[in-house]
């Protein structure tokens, strides 16, 4: 994992981590780590969606039962592809993973801009000039203000 955020205490006691795969478009903005190894909180942008990621460790005292769950905004539920509770190795808590898949087809609306190189093309300039003259000829009237005519052009 290219990016890891963690909070650790001492050897084999406490500790949390958040690992983010290198292919995931995540930009962290703030990280808060507990020096006692109880939590790590990272805020940032995940595929242009503001998120707060937190990993919290709570001791299980005398019971070996741990509570492992994800708290997630309901708007992100359709993006969840898989959750996994993995094997415990030398610890009293297990690694968990959450796979979120944002649609890659979602694009920001584009702003149209004139290709200014067309202005040096004489044929293009003639074509546009004739189209403007024709538009004004067919749409000019006393009931339409010059401002409205210009805006519709």
Closest C-alpha to 41, from 21, 71, 10: 71
Cα R_g (the chain), whole angstroms? 29
pLDDT value at residue 103: 66
pLDDT value at residue 109: 60
User: In Å, how far are 103, 145, 151, 153 from 148, measured between CA atoms?
Assistant: 41, 5, 5, 9
Cβ count within 10 A of residue 42: 20
Residue 44 neighbours by CB under 8 Å, 6+ apart: 26, 27, 28, 29, 30, 50, 51, 53
Per-residue model confidence as pLDDT tens digits over 44-71: 988 888 889 988 877 666 655 556 677 7
Is pTM, for the whole model, over 0.75? Answer: no
Report d(CA 113, CA 115) in Å as an integer.
6
- In order of their start, the domains of the chain are 3-100 (3.60.10.10), 116-152 (no CATH)
Residue 40 neighbours by CB under 8 Å, 6+ apart: 5, 6, 7, 16, 17, 18, 31, 32, 33, 34, 54, 55
Q: Which of 17-26, 45-54, 61-70, 143-152 is the least confident region?
A: 61-70
């Amino acid at each position: 994992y290219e990016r890891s955020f963690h909070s650790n205490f001492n050897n084999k006691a406490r500790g949390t981590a958040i690992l983010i795969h290198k292919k995931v478009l995540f930009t962290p903005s703030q990280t808060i780590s507990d020096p006692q190894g109880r939590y790590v909180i990272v805020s940032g942008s995940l595929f242009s969606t503001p998120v707060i990621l937190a990993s919290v460790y709570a001791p299980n005292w005398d019971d070996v039962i741990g509570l492992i769950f994800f708290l997630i905004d309901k708007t992100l539920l359709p993006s969840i592809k898989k959750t996994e509770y993995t094997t415990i190795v030398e610890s009293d808590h297990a690694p968990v993973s959450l796979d979120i898949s944002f649609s890659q087809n979602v694009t920001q609306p584009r702003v149209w801009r004139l290709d200014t190189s067309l202005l040096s093309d004489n044929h293009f300039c003639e074509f546009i000039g004739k189209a403007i003259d024709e538009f004004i000829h067919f749409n000019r009237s006393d009931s339409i203000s010059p401002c409205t005519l210009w805006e519709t052009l």
